[in-house]
Amino acid sequence: MSEAPSSSDSRRVTVEICEHVADVRFNRPDKHNGLDWQMIEAILGVQAELKVRVEEGSLRAIVLSGEGASFCAGLDMAAIMGDAVRVPQLLVAGANGCTSTRNTVQQLSLGWRDSGVPVIAAVQGNVFGGGLQIALGADIRLCDPEARLAILEIDWGIIPDMGISVTARGVRSDWLHELSWSGRKVGAREACEAGLVTRIVSNPREEALALARQVAGRSPNAIRAITQLYSEALMASEADALALEARLQSGLLGKAEHMECVTAKLEGRTPHFL
């Protein structure tokens, strides 16, 4: 089942939803999609909106990208410091609708994982600081060959703190240390070698949307279970991870979507899901 295309504009972020895929675009191209207060608020709002759609069953995959030359160049420090009195609130756990274990800047990255569906980031141009950390919140990162990526917080005398201690667990630790200590900008090839990005492709947004549409055509319950398994198991003990694996599988076996997959495979046709 597919739904009619829809769109919404939260000023700094645009969203178009078609055939169960959300095309989310950061929309401040004149500033390389730098994060100002409006952008932060818009991202949090879109995350909440899309989570509701997932729970309703109308959304199966999310693609993140940036309008213009860059994905996201990180915090627009001039804009943020223009209202500096608000800065401490960014680091308060539980503020702005976050869970008791997260603060606002961590939610900008980790909030995408809360959706429960696959999230694919298509990155190009400048992917710096907070922009890179948002991309790391996605499950997959498709990267333009000319992109430049960096962990720039050291330039401001601070640490990368947007949940990177969780989201960067697939990044080689030696690379993570070097790039965090030095602030060095790397190209797509080095970023892929380090594990910062998944693949290098000529048109990241189109590739990401195509992959998202492919995923959206698979069993929704199985896709969500896979997403949950890998998200939770990475932070669990071996015993807890194996128990989660068994519990999720038991919840799928013999159910309608599972039987439709089996029947379609045996009949040589494409499965259909409600």
Structural domains in the chain, sorted by start: 6-216 (3.90.226.10), 220-267 (1.10.12)
Statement: residue 205 has pLDDT above 60: yes
pLDDT score at 204: 99
DSSP 268: T
Statement: residue 258 has pLDDT above 70: yes
> Which range is least confidently modeled, 2-11, 42-51, 67-76, 237-246?
2-11
Residue type present at position 53: R
Q: Model confidence at 5, in pLDDT bands (50, 70, 90)? A: very low
DSSP three-state, residue 24: strand
User: Do the beta carbons of residue 160 and residue 134 sit within 8 Å?
Assistant: no
